[in-house]
Structure formats: structure tokens, C-alpha cells
Amino acid sequence: MYITLIFLGVIMATIIGWLLRQTLNSQPWVSEAADDAVSGTSMDTSTKAVALMTFLAVATSVFGLFISAYTIRMEGPDWRPLAEPTLLWANSAMLVLASIVYHWTRNAAVKGNMEQVKPGLTVAGALTILFLLGQIVAWRQLIAAGYYVGLNPANAFFYLLTAVHGLHMLGGLWVWAKSTINVWTGADSDSVRLSIELCTVYWHFLLLVWVVLFGMLLST
């Protein structure tokens, strides 16, 4: 549970620290003109960005808890590490590329360059879909090699963690699909920019999660 504790400790410390800073010097019982002018918006960013950050905290908690469970269960005497398919390296490369292309697309969208956004978005999504297909192929390779899910906790965790990560990826692709359809049906850059920016953050986040998960799977 230490890993979860550290994760959540950092998240909680950030939240509480931020809230304390907001409240420390305030004397709300005194009607102050300076307070009257406050806009009622705490963060100088879009509402959707705040919601995404909150969601990333939730997702971090989910993955952190899975990782904690993994490390605790690993100590059992029946744990037999499985040989990860080499294909995972290729899949990881796809995901890294997807993240890079998404970031490039985001920069294009910020500049309003729709001619770059169209192919960029398409390629980023295609790479992500390739990653997911690659994950499924990796599953099939493992099954073919006899690493069944019920045989060993290491196998079970492998399928579980990749599946949870893949499902998060699918959720991202849902938003990606919406903005891609918008882009190809002639939406201007203003209407899709935010969605692309937030997706980029989400892709980077899921890449980071994958790097952590893959590293953990390889090293144990």
C-alpha cells in the first residue's frame, strides 16, 4: 500500500496545500471590497481542463491501487513471472509516437493550422488503434504460449492491467473520434482546439501510465 499512499499523499497534499493558501489570510467576517471583486473562478483555465485534471487524479488513484495490489500479491509464494512478448516494445513505440503526433497536432491547432490538424489527428488515432490491436495480439501470443489467466497471479495481473489501461485508451478514442469527425466535416480550429489540447494531456498521461506499468511488468 506504500505506493498508493505516496500517490494519494502527493495528491491530497497538493489539494489541501492549495486550499490552505487560498484561505489562510482571509478574514471572511470582515466585508472587504477586494473580496467583492473576486470573479468566482478559482483557476485561470477552462472548466473542462479542471474537470480533466480532477479525472486524472481519479485515474491515478485507480492505477496506483492496482499497482499496490500487484506489489502486495507479488510476495505470495505462487508468483511465477511471465515472459512478456517482445511485441510489447513495438506497441510501446506506437503509443510514444501517438503521443508525439498528438502533441504536434495540438501545436498546429493552437496556431489554427487546420491543414496540419486533419492528418495529425488521423495519424495519432491510427497509431493508438494500432497500439490497442497490438495489445490484443500480445494477449493471443500469451494464451498460445499457455499463460492462461487463471494459472498464476502474474498472468492475471498482466491481463488485468493491460485491459484497464486499454479501456482508458478506448475512452480517449471516443473523444478523439468526435473531434476527428468534426475536423473532417469542416469545423474551424476554435471549436476543436480545446478538445485536442485536453486529449493531448490525456494521451501523455496514459503514455506515462503505460511506461510505469510496462516497466513494472518487465522488472518483476
Q: Which stretch binds another protein (CB under 8 A): 19-27, 82-90, 126-134, 199-207?
A: 19-27
Distance CA 22, CA 29 (A): 16
State the virtual CA torsion across 181, 182, 186, 191 in degrees, nearest 10.
-160
Task: Give yes or no for residue 43 binding another protein (CB under 8 A).
Answer: yes
Task: Give yes or no for residue 73 binding another protein (CB under 8 A).
Answer: yes
The alpha carbon of residue 212 and the mean position of all alpha carbons in its chain are separated, in whole angstroms, by 11
Q: Give per-residue burial for 78-100: e unless 16+ CB within 10 Å, then b.
A: eeeebebbeebeebbebbebbbe
Shortest Å distance, C-beta 130 to another protein: 26
The residue within the footprint of another protein, chosen from 2, 10, 22, 111 (CB under 8 A), is: 22
Helix (H, G, I), strand (E, B) or coil at 45: coil
Residues 79-108: x/- map of binding to another protein (CB under 8 A)? Answer: x-----------------------------
Q: Are 203 and 106 in contact (CB under 8 A)?
A: no
Distance CA 214, CA 192 (A): 32
Task: Give yes or no for residue 50 binding another protein (CB under 8 A).
Answer: yes
Shortest Å distance, C-beta 65 to another protein: 4
**Contact footprint for another protein (CB under 8 A):** 1, 4-5, 8-9, 11-13, 15-16, 19-20, 22-23, 26-31, 33, 35-43, 47, 50-51, 54-55, 57-58, 61-62, 65-66, 69, 72-73, 76-79, 149-150, 153, 156, 160, 164
